[in-house]
């Protein structure tokens, strides 16, 4: 991998981390008045996937969408404003953190109903096929969503119609506080589920952005060539609480030591180590810090939406 | 009489029912986690074991059908959804199967199950985590629907619902969970029975669930202004206690329904049409309904604020019906003293969880 790609991956991972940490830090000011599902610890997934997507490629996401939005190049001012409920938000303040979107960047939307965006993403790919557009659709979801019926119905349909879709299953082991062992039989095999439905399946370490990038690069090339819908499962771990700005290891729903083990595999530290030229890093982080800081200032200074905007919608 | 939280009342009802009846089982995502559905299932796993307290995958539709299958053979499942919206994934099972199984089996099988649905509100949860969809379920023949407003009714109604032979949709408003109330253990609350919580003669106010709390917040202002309001807590939405409502209207001649949800095609619409059909001769003025604005709910607090009911709006509408002027100064003083500044939280220092 060349130096530039590495640096770019570092920048995305860093940007996600820093944005999430800032949200976490400022949340107690009670001005971001909406539920937030942070991606600290999971940054390499979004970064390594989206680094292979073109601007007009499309994604759709879930309640935990900050990382996907940032990695796909979503406008940062609009994202932070949305979380602050301001009219400069990407959804005019209508949706908050759980409804991020930026159509200019192919970010179709995010919704907090588990599994519900999977078929919608398939539908976007169907449109692309019928209209002969060659944008790739990437659908992000957690492993919890693979327990919903709609996941299975959707991959079956996608395979039946050879739709160019990358399904990204971000496996962080937990659905809220409930561990995998309480939700799936020990021998459940997502690979077999996918292959049984004629989907190609891959797995990668979701905390190593270089590995994710390289694997997805190959996959995306293949999907573009033969339209075979493909699922990649990326193993990763959420550091903070499921929803909210805090640590919650004190609740003990995760085995002791598990979080520590994953923090040792910190996606940011790993990519940072790969970059030998430290001045490059400090220049990049300085610039990103500035951008992030100014996005929060922008959001705080923005106005709340006027009630009049409601008239623009059909009810 | 002891005072406990609404959430504790739910827990007591489930616990005591499980103790009494071994066929009662619990299913849901999060029921065994450290937060135990806002405390409502706390300790039950330890007490009753994994066979009866079943943590589930993120699979609402299947879980609902599975509960149905178990119930027609004699188990009494209680399913829990942390938000009403998650139950929407299981609508087919609820409407086509659960509501009709007793009918389709020509009465040979019945479905003694309870589905708990928690209504969210505030803190920018937005369009998909704060809907009040009681009416969707109340529309369906074959379902019973209850929505208690206080700890005592919650406990008793839940125990009644668990014992009930037919399926019950049990609504809990998230903003009620922390409110304490005295438990009146003696009387069993029957499904289909409303309660007159304040007697009065000038007008009938019908409400339920969290909307009722908002009505009670302004009750003193009515009293200060010599408005004698009769306040009815519906408790059950289907079947509806028509008798209690009509009897009250026959006395007051005026009715306002304060809905927990959208007013169009809603619970309030149903009540008013019932009153017009069955009690037209008692009406001295047009009935009125208020509730959530008939639009989707935004995350941003300035937009959400306009969507939800507030004390001023309730008071204005009541005074209009009884044709009385409001002393604006008195009203503003009262509002300032009694109303929370933020309509996106239940009380000033509330910080979730939501
Ligand atoms: C249909 C539905 N059921 C339940 C929920 C509550 N819920 C919100 S996020 C979540 C966790 C889902 O886990 P996963 O899909 O693995 O995503 P993660 O939060 O781990 O990123 C759950 C159960 C929901 N939003 N929608």
pLDDT tens digits for range B156-175: 999 999 999 999 999 999 99
- Position B339 scores a pLDDT of 78
Candidates A98, A139, A144: which one to mutate for ligand 1, based on the most atoms within 8 Å of Cβ? A144
Task: State which residues of chain A have pLDDT below 50.
Answer: none
For the Cβ of B60 lying below 6 angstroms from any atom of ligand 1, the answer is yes
For residue B222, is pLDDT > 80? Answer: yes
Please state which CATH class domain B2-183 belongs to: alpha beta
Taking only the tens place, the pLDDT of each residue in B302-335 is 999 889 999 999 999 999 999 999 999 999 999 9
For the Cβ of A46 lying below 6 angstroms from any atom of ligand 1, the answer is no
ipTM value, please give it: 0.96
In chain A, residues with a C-beta closer than 8 Å to the C-beta of B54 are none
Cβ pair B61:A176 closer than 8 A: no
> A117: which 2 tokens?
């965006």
Which numeric CATH code is attached to A3-73+100-286? Answer: 3.40.50.970
Q: How far is the CA of A207 from the centre of ligand 1 (A)?
A: 21
b/e B207-217 (16+ beta carbons within 10 angstroms → b): bbbbbbbbbbb
In chain B, residues with a C-beta closer than 8 Å to the C-beta of A176 are 29-30, 33
- Position B341 scores a pLDDT of 72
Please state which CATH class domain B195-338 belongs to: alpha beta
Taking only the tens place, the pLDDT of each residue in B106-154 is 999 999 999 999 999 999 999 999 999 999 999 999 999 999 999 999 9
For residue B350, is pLDDT > 80? Answer: no
Q: Report d(CA A187, CA A189) in Å as an integer.
A: 6
Q: What percent of chain B has pLDDT over 70?
A: 99
For residue B267, is pLDDT > 80? Answer: yes
pTM of the model: 0.97
The whole-chain average pLDDT of chain B stands at: 96
Sketch the domain layout of chain A as residue ranges: 3-73+100-286
- Position A87 scores a pLDDT of 97
- Position A300 scores a pLDDT of 98
Candidates A36, A41, A63: which one to mutate for ligand 1, based on the most atoms within 8 Å of Cβ? A63
Cβ pair B58:A114 closer than 8 A: yes
- Position B346 scores a pLDDT of 85
- Position B191 scores a pLDDT of 98
Can you spell out the DSSP letters for chain A? --HHHHHHHHHHHHHHHHHHHHHHHHGGGS-S-S-----TT-HHHHHHHHTT--TT-EEEE-SS-HHHHHHTT--HHHHHHHHTT-TTSTTTTSSGGGG--BGGGTEEEE-SSTTTHHHHHHHHHHHHHHTT----EEEEEEGGGGGSHHHHHHHHHHHHTT--EEEEEEE-SEETTEEGGGTS-TT--HHHHHHHTT-EEEEEETT-HHHHHHHHHHHHHHHHHH---EEEEEE----S-SSSSS--GGG--S-TTHHHHHHHT-HHHHHHHH---HHHHHHHHHHHHHHHHHHHHHHHHSPPPPGGGGGGS--
Residues of chain B with CATH 3.40.50.920: 195-338
């Amino acid at each position: 991998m060349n130096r530039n790609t590495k640096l770019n991956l570092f920048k995305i991972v860093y940007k996600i981390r820093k944005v999430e940490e800032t949200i976490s830090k400022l949340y107690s000011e009670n001005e971001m008045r909406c539920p937030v599902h942070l991606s600290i610890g999971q940054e390499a997934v979004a970064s390594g996937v989206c680094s292979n997507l073109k601007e007009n490629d499309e994604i759709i996401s879930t309640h935990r969408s900050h990382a996907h939005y940032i990695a796909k190049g979503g406008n940062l001012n609009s994202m932070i404003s949305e979380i602050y409920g301001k009219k400069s938000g990407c959804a005019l303040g209508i949706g908050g953190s759980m409804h991020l979107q930026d159509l200019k960047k192919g970010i179709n939307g995010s919704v907090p109903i588990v599994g519900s965006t999977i078929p919608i993403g398939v539908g976007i790919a169907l449109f692309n096929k019928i209209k002969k557009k060659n944008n790739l659709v990437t659908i992000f979801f957690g492993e919890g969503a693979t327990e919903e019926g709609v996941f299975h119905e959707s991959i079956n349909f996608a395979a039946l119609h050879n739709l160019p879709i990358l399904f990204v299953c971000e496996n962080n082991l937990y659905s809220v506080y409930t561990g995998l062992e309480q939700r799936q039989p020990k021998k459940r095999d997502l690979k077999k589920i996918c292959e049984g439905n004629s989907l190609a399946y891959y797995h990668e370490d979701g905390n190593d952005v270089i590995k994710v990038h390289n694997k997805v690069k190959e996959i995306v090339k293949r999907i573009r060539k033969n339209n075979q819908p493909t699922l990649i499962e990326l193993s990763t771990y959420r550091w903070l609480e499921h929803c909210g700005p805090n640590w919650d290891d004190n609740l003990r729903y995760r085995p002791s030591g598990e979080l520590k083990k994953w923090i040792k595999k910190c996606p940011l530290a790993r990519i940072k180590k790969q970059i030998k030229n430290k001045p490059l890093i400090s220049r990049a982080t300085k610039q990103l810090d500035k951008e992030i800081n100014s996005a929060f200032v922008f959001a705080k200074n923005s106005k709340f939406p006027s009630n009049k905007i409601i008239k623009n919608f059909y009810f | 009489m002891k005072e406990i939280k609404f959430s504790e009342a739910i827990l007591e009802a489930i616990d005591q029912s499980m103790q009494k009846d071994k066929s009662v089982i619990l299913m849901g995502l999060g029921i065994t986690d450290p937060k135990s559905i806002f405390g409502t299932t706390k300790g039950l796993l330890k007490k009753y074991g994994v066979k009866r307290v079943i943590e589930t995958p993120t699979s609402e539709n299947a879980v609902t059908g599975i509960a149905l299958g178990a119930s027609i053979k004699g188990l009494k499942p209680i399913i829990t959804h942390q938000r009403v919206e998650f139950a929407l994934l299981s609508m087919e099972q609820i409407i086509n199967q659960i509501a009709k199984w007793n009918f389709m089996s020509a009465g040979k099988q019945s479905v003694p199950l309870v589905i708990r649905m928690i209504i969210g509100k505030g803190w920018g949860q937005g369009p998909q985590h704060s809907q009040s969809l009681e009416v969707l379920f109340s529309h369906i023949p074959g379902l019973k629907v209850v929505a208690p407003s206080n700890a005592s009714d919650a406990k008793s109604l839940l125990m009644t619902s668990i014992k009930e032979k037919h399926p019950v949709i049990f609504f809990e408003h998230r903003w009620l969970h922390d409110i304490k109330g005295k438990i009146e253990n003696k009387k069993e609350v029957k499904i289909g029975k409303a309660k007159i919580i304040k007697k009065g003669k000038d007008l009938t106010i019908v409400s339920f669930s969290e909307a009722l709390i908002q009505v009670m917040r302004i009750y003193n202002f009515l009293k200060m202004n010599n408005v004698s309001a009769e306040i009815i807590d519906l408790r059950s939405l289907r079947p509806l206690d028509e008798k209690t409502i009509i009897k009250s209207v026959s006395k007051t001649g005026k009715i306002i329904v304060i809905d927990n949800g959208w007013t169009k095609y809603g619970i309030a619409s149903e009540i008013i049409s019932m009153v017009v059909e069955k009690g037209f001769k008692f009406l001295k003025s047009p009935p009125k309904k208020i509730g959530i604005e008939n639009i989707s709910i935004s995350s941003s607090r300035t937009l959400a604020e306009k969507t939800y009911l507030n004390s001023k709006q309730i008071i204005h509408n009541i005074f209009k019906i009884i044709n009385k002027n409001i002393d604006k100064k008195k009203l503003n003083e009262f509002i300032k003293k009694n109303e929370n500044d933020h309509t996106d939280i239940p009380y000033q220092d509330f910080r979730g969880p939501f």
